[in-house]
Structure 1
Amino acid sequence: MAGEIPRAQPPPDVPAPGRHPHLLLWRWRRNPLRRRTDRLEGWVALGILLAVLVAAPAAMFAVGDTAYRHYRSTAEHEARTRDHRPAVLVHDAPRHPEPGSDEAKKTRYPVKVRFTGPDGTARTGRADVEPGLSADSTVLVWVDAAGEITEPPLTSEQIRSRTMGWAILAFLGVVLTGLAAHAATALVLRRRNLAGWDAAWAATAPRWSRSP
């Protein structure tokens, strides 16, 4: 349409922003607008990246190894101090609303049971049992050295799962720490950069606005 102002376009020989092959390296390339803080920010970012690449796997291995040793020791202690004992239901267990369903097979209800403790005395406690069991039914429960019903010793799968969880947390902790350090450093340097631009403009502006 006649008289319409065309949209601004970059010169044909200048790559569009974001497509320049060296755009990510601009902090190290010579540029009349680049300040010392720009280059410093680039070196700090590179240093943090290298530190995270080294520290994250090391932290993951160290924390994972420590967690594995801890849970392995805990499992061995539980295996020595816990005993599988028969217990008798004091009353009927609740029935599941959908007997025979997959959900019913996985559901357990806490029911009062009677069992013999490690010291030979009769004890009572609550154990999770299958739905629909009648009173006087016998189930197996785990009992600790104090004669209390407890969880079974940690399994190998539980040890691996918990170890992996701590290892992943350690890895993510190092990565997040690196990101936070980079963000804080960039914020400080950019504020310093803006202060430098303000000072330069304060010195230059009077010459631009001076009346002829």
Structure 2
Amino acid sequence: MAAFRGPKAWLWRWRRNPLRRRSDVLEAWIMLAAWVFTVLGGVVTGLVTVHAVENGLARERAEWHAVPAQLIEDAPDADTTGPAGRIVWTKVRWTAPDGTPRSGRVRVSAGIPADTPVLVWTDPDGRLVNRPTGVAVARLRACLMGFFAGAGVGAVPFAACRLLRGRLERRRMDRWDEEWDRIGPLWGRTAS
């Protein structure tokens, strides 16, 4: 099929041509707008997402801090079927920045006795939080989230363009069918 098409003409939809239809020009503008929105929307959304995630994780690293705590109860022993060094949940007690005693559940190694000192991570209000993400992992997480957010936003105008182009193509084919129904029977006549 490609052998019958001839050489590819760039920007043919915008060139002056007596065979060019309005639908060709409309399709060209739709494709241009879709690609602009796909690329710019995806890139801008990705960069904004990367910046927001990196700032959020940097704020966590700056605000969250490790505080000493003590186990209130013995950590359950590891059963013989589980792997060695198993992690279990147990209760701990610590002091919040305002001086009030707090308690909660954290994960520790199995078999640790009560009154053992451990480090827990808290936010500025003294609530338990996870260990903040390191700089390298935060950068990787931000880049991945930015990539997926940008791809998701870029997929919307791309999909809309594909749907609209499909509709224009069906409309064009319907018009060709109508024209063929009208003109096709005239081809069988010959002049005498």
Asked if Structure 1 and Structure 2 have the same fold, meaning a TM-score greater than 0.5 normalized by the shorter chain, the answer is: yes
Identity of aligned residues (%): 29
Structure with greater Cα Rg? 1
- Counterpart check, 1:201 vs 2:180: yes
From 162, 165, 171, the counterpart of 1:186:
165
Q: Does 1:91 align with 2:36?
A: no
Maintained 8 Å contact 2:71/2:90: no
Distance in 2 separating the partners of 1:195 and 1:21: 22
- Scaled by the length of structure 2, the TM-score of the pair is 0.71
In the alignment, which of 43, 56, 62 is matched to residue 48 of structure 2? Answer: 62
Which of 29, 34, 58 is matched with 1:48 structurally? 34
Q: Distance in 1 between matches of 2:36 and 2:158?
A: 12
Once residues 46 and 124 of structure 2 are traced to their aligned partners in structure 1, the CA distance between those partners, rounded to angstroms, is 35
Does structure 1 conserve the Cα–Cα contact (< 8 Å) formed by 2:57 and 2:132? no
Query: Which of the numbers 37, 53, 56 marks the counterpart of 2:23?
Result: 37
**Stretch moving more, 147-156 or 176-185:** 147-156
Secondary structure of 1:58's match?
Answer: helix
Deviation at 1:84, TM superposition (A): 1.3
2:127 counterpart letter in structure 1: E
State the distance in 1 between where 2:70 and 2:38 align. 54
In the alignment of these two chains, the number of paired residues is 187
Partner-residue secondary structure (3-state), 2:94? strand
For 1:93 and 1:24, the matched residues in 2 are separated by 73
- Give TM-score, length-normalised by structure 1: 0.65
Shift of the 69–19 alpha-carbon distance from structure 1 to 2, 3 Å rule, reads farther
SS at match of 2:118: strand
Alpha-carbon RMSD across the aligned residues, in angstroms, is 3.8
CA positional deviation for 1:139: 1.6
Residues 43 and 149 from structure 1, CA distance in 2 versus in 1: closer, same or farther, beyond 3 angstroms? closer
Structure 1 CA distance for aligned equivalents of residues 184 and 132 of structure 2: 76
Deviation at 1:24, TM superposition (A): 6.3
Q: Cα–Cα, structure 1 residues 37 and 122, in superposed 2: closer, same or farther, change >3 Å? A: closer
Give the Cα–Cα distance (whole angstroms) in 2 for the partners of residues 138 and 146 of structure 1.
21
In structure 2, stretches of 5+ residues that fail to align are none
